[in-house]
Amino acid sequence: MFFSSGNLTARIFERQIRTPRPSTSVNRVRKFYENLVPNHTEYDIDCPDIYFRKFTDDGQYLITFSRNYQELIVYRPTGLSVSFKEDCHFHDVSTKVKRFDSYFNQLYCIPLASSNEVICKDFFLYMDDRQFGLFATSTMHVHEPTFIQGGVHGIPSIEKITFHLLRLEDGVILDEKVFHNDFIHVTSCIGVFIYDDLISILSILYQTIHIFQIRESGNLVEVRRIGSFCRDDDELFLNSHAQVIATDKNKPISSSFSVENNTEHPDDTERNTFFSGIKQRLLSFIFRGIWNEREDDLLRVPLLKKKFYFHFQDYANLVIWKVQFLDRRHLFIKFGSAEGAVSRSTEIHRAFFAVYNMETTEIISFHQNPSDELYLLFEKFCSNFHVASRNSLHANFVTSHSNNLHALELLKVIKSKSTYYSQFVKKILASLPFTCQSQSPSPYFDQSLFRYDEKLISSMERHRQALDYPIKFILRRQPNTHKFKIKPGPDSGSADARQKRIYSFLFHPFLPFAISIQHTFMQSTVVNVHFRR
């Protein structure tokens, strides 16, 4: 077998003479990455003072921001490219290799934030098919919650949040959407989700899900708004009903709803009378589910008292924490208490999950965490929760325990070591709904190809505490074969081990190329480049 040797030339020859089985051609091609690895590191390169965000999923652009978070700087990855007009010496070559511009070409630098705003450094979403990028800027947070009419008590507000849609090819701003006196989780894109040409933006303060469609022209058009109303004509119906009542009783006509921040929310009088549209759908679904558990009406009433009316206020106080698309019709919504909506750790708060059909405006499933039924669905169909655009070739091959036996075995090991099954399920489901575009599609995180310590590195975008030893990648097919290693920070290690250091990685989606960034308190950032030589 040619593949048993792991020789790149033999693999190319076998590709010419053998046809892969149906639906396995992509996986066969990805095995070439066992030979194409980033086997060389240039330590502490001369890099501009910028904040690295990520590579786009198609690998065409590197997104960065200026250190004052006012400007967007976009680079084109070129790989190592060094040229000289005259004869050069080894020292000249080594100096060039240490320069950032030997690996990237700057395309443009444009101001994105206004004078009183800053760029949200952890926010960026990308559309592969049109090469559009979505960015966010905001004013400073008001940490002390203030009462805002129509808003949820205990939720802070931000004076201004602006979403910018850019064409990354030339940096032209195509459209902007502004939210005033609102609270949207823009950190790590928690409050925003993109699926194909649809974008959902969750206003936690006003409990409204805004659905925008990105047109080919680059315009952001709001096609649906879910919150106080679920259907487009709900407000018209309620106002018409109010007019009939006012006419019958010879009272002046007054609108029951105020409009602020492009979001409808009922005033205090109306809030005491009506639930929001989505809350009413949720309560109705819970009621009908308990009602249908018994066929005898004599048994239904005690059951409703125990399961519904006893917990009614808890259900009525639920607020939306997070939203993601499952497809173009369905939303996966996470509910919880108002305190948990702004908490950094949501695991300590009780959470509920619901699937909402936007076209029929119905809740079609409801689960409380922990839920055995939801966990089994998550275990078998995890890739369905990692929703990727149909046009994103590389993002559709991100490893999960529903499409990779090694990831499934790892999950089972963690389950077997858990003392309490319910706590294990609760911890696993706490990550739902998944954050949009939060995983690197790099083939080096494919667990069918490589084995690595997930405590030190993984496809998830997150910072980790730095270590003085390299991270090893071992071939899965040959378990004892160490293929390559990556080490963040200086080549010689840290001089003071007591200093707190954190690091992060940016892997190119398909090239054997990666950037490691190490941050140390009160010291300059160390940037390493890892590539195939």
pLDDT at 269: 40
Q: From the CA atom positions of the chain, what is the Rg in Å?
A: 26
Q: Which residue has the tokens 């894109």?
A: 189
- Please state the rounded mean pLDDT for residues 246-259: 50
**In the listed set 437, 471, 497, which residue is the last one of a domain according to the structure?**
437
Mean pLDDT (the chain, rounded): 85
Evaluate whether 211 touches 225 at the Cβ level (below 8 Å): yes
User: Using CA atoms, how far apart are residues 475 and 473, in angstroms rounded to an integer?
Assistant: 7
Residue 392 has pLDDT above 70, yes or no: no
Tell whether 284 is covered by a domain.
no
Name the percent of the chain lying above pLDDT 70: 86
User: Using CA atoms, how far apart are residues 333 and 325, in angstroms rounded to an integer?
Assistant: 9
pLDDT at 83: 56
Tell whether 73 is covered by a domain.
yes
Count of domains forming the chain = 2
Tell whether 243 is covered by a domain.
no
**pLDDT, tens only, 19-32:** 877 767 777 788 88
Residue 322 has pLDDT above 70, yes or no: yes
- Asked if residue 219 and residue 333 are part of one domain, the reply reads no
**In the listed set 386, 411, 437, which residue is the last one of a domain according to the structure?**
437
**In the listed set 193, 226, 259, which residue is the last one of a domain according to the structure?**
226
Residue 85 has pLDDT above 60, yes or no: no
- Asked if residue 346 and residue 197 are part of one domain, the reply reads no
Domain that holds residue 372: 318-437
Tell whether 50 is covered by a domain.
no
How does residue 247 score in pLDDT terms, banded at 50, 70 and 90?
A: low
pLDDT at 172: 96
pLDDT at 92: 60
- How far from chain centre, in Å, is Cα 450? 24
Sheet holding 319-325, edge to edge: 319-325, 330-336, 351-357, 362-368
- Asked if residue 329 and residue 198 are part of one domain, the reply reads no
Tell whether 294 is covered by a domain.
no
- Asked if residue 333 and residue 218 are part of one domain, the reply reads no
User: Using CA atoms, how far apart are residues 499 and 522, in angstroms rounded to an integer?
Assistant: 10
**pLDDT, tens only, 4-63:** 556 788 888 888 888 877 767 777 788 889 989 999 999 999 999 999 999 999 999 999
Cβ of 24: how many Cβ atoms within 10 Å? 9
Q: SS3 string of 78-116?
A: CCCCCCCCCCCCHHHHHHHHCEHHHCEEEEEEEECCCCC
Q: What's the pTM value of the predicted model, to 2 decimals?
A: 0.88
- Asked if residue 204 and residue 68 are part of one domain, the reply reads yes
Residue 249 has pLDDT above 80, yes or no: no
Using left for φ > 0, alpha for ψ between -120 and 50, and beta otherwise, residue 45 falls in beta
Q: Residue 247 belongs to what H/E stretch? A: helix 234-248
- Asked if residue 218 and residue 339 are part of one domain, the reply reads no
